[in-house]
Amino acid sequence: MTARGHVHPVILCGGSGTRLWPTSRTIRPKPFLPLVGSRTLFEAAQDRVSDRTRFAPPIVVAGTQHCDLIEAQARGDHRIVVEPQGKNTAPAIALAAALLDPYDVMLVCPSDHHIADEAAFAAAAQAAATLAREDWLVSFGIAPDRPETGYGYLHRGEELPGGYRIARFVEKPDLGTARAYLATGEYSWNGGIFAFRAGHYLAELARHRPEMARLVGEAVAQGRKDGSRFLAAHEPFSRIEGDSVDYAVMENTDHAAMVPADMGWSDIGNWAALADALAGEPGLPDENGNVARGPADLDGCSRVLAMSDGPRISVVGLEDVCIVVAGDEVLVTTREGAQRVGKLPGATSQGKAR
Amino acid sequence: MTARGHVHPVILCGGSGTRLWPTSRTIRPKPFLPLVGSRTLFEAAQDRVSDRTRFAPPIVVAGTQHCDLIEAQARGDHRIVVEPQGKNTAPAIALAAALLDPYDVMLVCPSDHHIADEAAFAAAAQAAATLAREDWLVSFGIAPDRPETGYGYLHRGEELPGGYRIARFVEKPDLGTARAYLATGEYSWNGGIFAFRAGHYLAELARHRPEMARLVGEAVAQGRKDGSRFLAAHEPFSRIEGDSVDYAVMENTDHAAMVPADMGWSDIGNWAALADALAGEPGLPDENGNVARGPADLDGCSRVLAMSDGPRISVVGLEDVCIVVAGDEVLVTTREGAQRVGKLPGATSQGKAR
């Protein structure tokens, strides 16, 4: 169906929908919400790989419960690989890889990130695909703009055409370490975007996580097609010990590379991050840095995000606060507190009776 | 109906319902809401004068639009005097005075204040009635507990039995002046609670505001009874130039006295004041001074008031903030900002289409 040489986008639609609660819920998590601009994050993720001269139609990996949302927001030709259970990214990517030709280059993209500069993304994707064809396992290294302690970092090593070897993967650092990383200019955020040949990924997975690779193989062999969906078999998949692509493969392979990407990236990991992403949208923030989505009156406020699906939000005298009204829930959090939203009773008890 | 010597409570139910918006609305303003405890402020105002060995049944002065609320919350025998229009307190009190015997002692009480110590109120009322029988026009002087700049002050003069002459009325002071007042111990807040003989009040009004007194007289003469209601005539009343009892009478008479009253008083003039009143209620504030009324989850918060008529409020990391959810409105304000709530578009546009 697609010319050999095309890059195969693999869009991951996992996620539990707690960190942007109450707007993001288990039944309609972050990828499927129009958080920035008028497109949902999933729609935008598809649009970034919509150039059919370069990209094949995407493979979307998701749980059963989100297939209807995916169909409703699909931009055109696509396949869905249904994970029987969430097992983190390494098995999800392996399912998609198993459906491709071993020499196909995959571009693995989370569906819940925001990328302001789509041209920069396209250029990085091109560089990553080129390295992948030379048998590198490539991670996007996001240019850091602050000493963020919530992400892993990539330390760049030897220069490669269009990128670098990864000298070292670094776990989430403390603030002092993050500041030092930022100062050197040698560190990038690990953005969770990857490119590699399908067969190369599966081979490295088999080497470093043989049991996982075996069970994915069984789940594919015992799986079945259902229209445009491929349903992996439940029983073998459920026995997988879940792990991330970073832990399972990237940190273990001796072919890890990175392409630098300075593209206005955000994982929109919490309400403060969304506020920042929205504050970068043209025309959105007022002269005091406030962003309102939905009816809102802000009096004497600075850097307030007010987001409502209906009721008016009136705010007096606040700074650096996010206020979210969705359904029958009202959330008010400081920027610092935004990281704790996913642990709130409302976020963790979704679907349970109050 | 009542023994001579009884004090006649006059409960004023004016007010526009903007400062505690969105809970207080034009159609259901502050007196008729259970803001502190389970009683509405109007119910509590009646209960404070319910001892029929000392008090006659109350006269309630209100606008037409609130008569149904008054009947619904009435604690027993009462009369309603219907003001055709809001004209501030001096004409409202004059209407009630005109329906009483000139020698009757009136105790004029706002319906929208909170008084934590009802025994102290009763003692002050007794002292005020005694002075009123000796032809003083008596104001309650509230013991100040902070250098409040939002109230008028009374400077006490010569001592009287159970009270003092008022040496001077002081307009809302600046903070430095308020601090100095507090330090002297000679100043009280003007709490808007009064006692005087009905005829004495009308005589002083005729002396200092002759046109107002004349028009009130006409509104009463042309008024009509309707069951337990007395409807003042619209036309003359509408021509009154409204004024407060302080400006029209108390500051002009040479018989102004005060009784000291230390009774946990609050005019609940804004959300911060309500937060303070609620924080004084037994069992209400948590160990960090937060008060929740309605479903709320507070994480890392101090001195937060969260008040909802239905939706859950989840709050992370905030201090000294009031969050109110009522109907289809959500208000978030700092304590300082609480004074500006009445000027918000939502508060001023009540009843108008959005």
Nearest neighbour of A331 by CB, restricted to B295, B314, B331 = B314
- pTM score of the predicted model: 0.88
Residue B53 and residue B32 share a domain? yes
- The whole domain housing B234 covers 7-266
Only one residue has tokens 């987001």, namely: A307
User: Which residues of chain B neighbour A337 with C-beta distances below 8 Å?
Assistant: 299-300, 316-318
CA distance A159 to A29: 39
Query: According to the model, what pLDDT value does residue A351 have?
Result: 52
pLDDT, greater one: B311 or A14: B311
Residue B283 and residue B262 share a domain? no
* DSSP reduced 3-state for A209: coil
Beta strands in chain A (DSSP E): 7-13, 59-63, 79-83, 105-110, 114-115, 137-142, 153-160, 163-170, 187-197, 224-226, 229-231, 256-261, 265-266, 291-293, 296-299, 305-308, 312-316, 321-326, 329-334
- Is B354's pLDDT higher than 60? no
Does the residue B1 lie in any domain? no
Q: How far is B299 from chain A (nearest CA, A)?
A: 8
The set of residues, in sequence order, having a beta carbon less than 8 Å from that of A263 and lying 6+ positions away, is A115, A116, A117, A118, A120, A121, A124, A142
Using the beta-carbon criterion (under 8 Å), do A312 and B333 form an inter-chain contact?
no
Tens digit of pLDDT for each residue in B117-174? Answer: 999 999 999 999 999 999 999 999 999 999 999 899 999 999 999 999 999 999 999 9
> If pLDDT is split at 50, 70 and 90, which confidence band does B83 have?
very high
Only one residue has tokens 């890889």, namely: A97
Does the residue A187 lie in any domain? yes
Token reading at B299: 């994480």
Does the residue B34 lie in any domain? yes
User: Which residues of chain A neighbour B315 with C-beta distances below 8 Å?
Assistant: 331-333
Q: Confirm or reject contact between B329 and chain A (CB < 8 A).
A: yes
Average pLDDT, chain B: 94
- Is B352's pLDDT higher than 50? no
Does the residue B353 lie in any domain? no
Looking at the 3D structure of chain A, how many domains does it have?
2
Does the residue B139 lie in any domain? yes
Residue A307 and residue A171 share a domain? no
Residue B11 and residue B155 share a domain? yes
User: Which residues of chain B neighbour A315 with C-beta distances below 8 Å?
Assistant: 331-333
Residue in chain A closest to B330 (alpha carbons) equals: A313
Q: How far is A301 from chain B (nearest CA, A)?
A: 10
Query: According to the model, what pLDDT value does residue A26 have?
Result: 82
CATH of residue B234's domain is 3.90.550.10
Distances (CA, A) of A324 to B1, B14, B300, B323, B331: 57, 35, 18, 12, 12
Residue A235 and residue A328 share a domain? no
Pairing of strands A105-110, B329-334: unpaired
Query: According to the model, what pLDDT value does residue A226 have?
Result: 93
Residue B276 and residue B225 share a domain? no
- Is B282's pLDDT higher than 90? no
Q: How far is B316 from chain A (nearest CA, A)?
A: 5
Residue B302 and residue B245 share a domain? no
Token reading at B263: 């009774």
Mean predicted confidence (pLDDT) in B29-40: 92
The set of residues, in sequence order, having a beta carbon less than 8 Å from that of A134 and lying 6+ positions away, is none
Token reading at B209: 């505001």
> If pLDDT is split at 50, 70 and 90, which confidence band does B4 have?
low
Query: According to the model, what pLDDT value does residue A349 have?
Result: 87
Residue A305 and residue A192 share a domain? no
The last residue of one of the domains, among A238, A266, A294, is: A266
The one-letter amino acid code at A57 reads P
Query: According to the model, what pLDDT value does residue B351 have?
Result: 52
The set of residues, in sequence order, having a beta carbon less than 8 Å from that of B314 and lying 6+ positions away, is A22, A329, A330, A331, A332, A333, A341, A344, A345, A346, B296, B297, B299
**How many other C-beta atoms lie within 10 A of the C-beta of residue A259?**
26
Tens digit of pLDDT for each residue in A108-139? Answer: 999 999 999 999 999 999 999 999 999 999 99
The last residue of one of the domains, among B232, B266, B300, is: B266
Residue B207 and residue B310 share a domain? no
Residue A299 and residue A170 share a domain? no
pLDDT along chain A (354 residues), means of 10: 74 86 89 92 97 97 94 95 96 98 97 95 97 97 93 96 96 95 96 97 98 98 95 97 96 97 94 92 90 96 96 97 96 96 91 44
Does the residue B233 lie in any domain? yes
Residue B275 and residue B248 share a domain? no
Three-class SS string for chain B? CCCCCCEEEEEEECCCCCCCCCCCECCECHHHCCCCCCCCHHHHHHHHCCCCCCECCCEEEEEHHHHHHHHHHCCCCCEEEEECCCCCHHHHHHHHHHCCCCCCEEEEEECCCEECCHHHHHHHHHHHHHHHHCCCEEEEEECCCCCCCCCCEEEEEEEECCEEEEEEEECCCCHHHHHHHHHHCCEEEEEEEEEEEHHHHHHHHHHHCHHHHHHHHHHHHCCEEECCEEECCHHHHHCCCCCCHHHHHHCCCCCEEEEEECCCEECCCCHHHHHHHHHCCCCCCCCCCCEEECCEEEECCECCEEEECCCEEEEECCECEEEEEECCEEEEEECHHHHHHHHCHHHHCCCCCC
Query: According to the model, what pLDDT value does residue A280 have?
Result: 85
CA distance B39 to B75: 11
- Fill in the DSSP letter of residue A352: S
Residue B292 and residue B183 share a domain? no
The set of residues, in sequence order, having a beta carbon less than 8 Å from that of B281 and lying 6+ positions away, is B36, B37
The last residue of one of the domains, among B266, B294, B325, is: B266
Determine contact, residues B210/B94, Cβ cutoff 8 Å.
no
Query: According to the model, what pLDDT value does residue B130 have?
Result: 97
Mean predicted confidence (pLDDT) in B185-213: 97
Does the residue A1 lie in any domain? no
The set of residues, in sequence order, having a beta carbon less than 8 Å from that of A282 and lying 6+ positions away, is none
Using the beta-carbon criterion (under 8 Å), do B325 and A330 form an inter-chain contact?
yes
CB pairs under 8 A between A and B: 120
Strand partners, A168: A155
CA distance B69 to A329: 30
The one-letter amino acid code at A147 reads P
Does the residue A23 lie in any domain? yes
